[in-house]
Amino acid sequence: MEEIRVLWITGLSGAGKSTLAREVTGRLRAMGRPVLLLDGDELREVFGAVAANTANHGREGRLALALRYARLCRVLAGQGVLVVIATISLFREVHAWNRQHLPGYFEVYLKVPLEELQRRDPKGIYRRFASGELTHVAGLDLPVDEPEGADWVVDFVPGRSVAALAEALFERMHGE
């Protein structure tokens, strides 16, 4: 298996992308690997992404932003850094671009049922959508493309710890 240089963790809001990315990044750093963590929430701020309920927060704006993330990953991975990115970015165009252009690309899809996402709702997104305060929510009124060729699809298992998930990911990444 080609050395992984971009670990792209995707899923809907509340799926655990950032939590898993932080755990994996910490383990990689403890192993002495040069690694950079990119989180979608932080990247939106860096790239000046607009708030929800605006035209740019719809499909086209999100797609353009996701492709910026992908290009940034290519630049960083090209400098010898392993990039771990946690982002929704659920677009076929992005997945295809990543597979074609990102060196050592490995895609993880955290597939969590909507009921569980609504239960977790760490940012209040699903609650605000239900009350009519928010629109353009990925997976609700904004259609998403589930990855068709993810290297690892992780189905939700109640009670599974992030440590156990990270361990399973390392085994998968190393072809065990």
d(CA 44, CA 110): 20
Catalytic residue ranges: 89
Q: Are 150 and 108 in contact (CB under 8 A)?
A: yes
Question: Is residue 41 predicted with pLDDT exceeding 50?
Answer: yes
Question: Is residue 51 predicted with pLDDT exceeding 60?
Answer: no
Question: Is residue 106 predicted with pLDDT exceeding 80?
Answer: yes
Q: Are 62 and 72 in contact (CB under 8 A)?
A: no
Extents of the domains making up the chain: 6-173
Fold entry, domain 6-173: Rossmann fold (3.40.50)
Task: Record the pTM.
Answer: 0.92
pLDDT for 157 equals 94
Question: Is residue 143 predicted with pLDDT exceeding 60?
Answer: yes
d(CA 82, CA 7): 8
Residues 81-103: pLDDT tens digits? 999 999 999 999 999 999 999 99
Among residues 77, 88, 71, which one has the least CA distance to residue 17?
88
| pLDDT band, residue 52 (cuts 50/70/90) | very low
| pLDDT band, residue 55 (cuts 50/70/90) | very low
d(CA 150, CA 110): 10
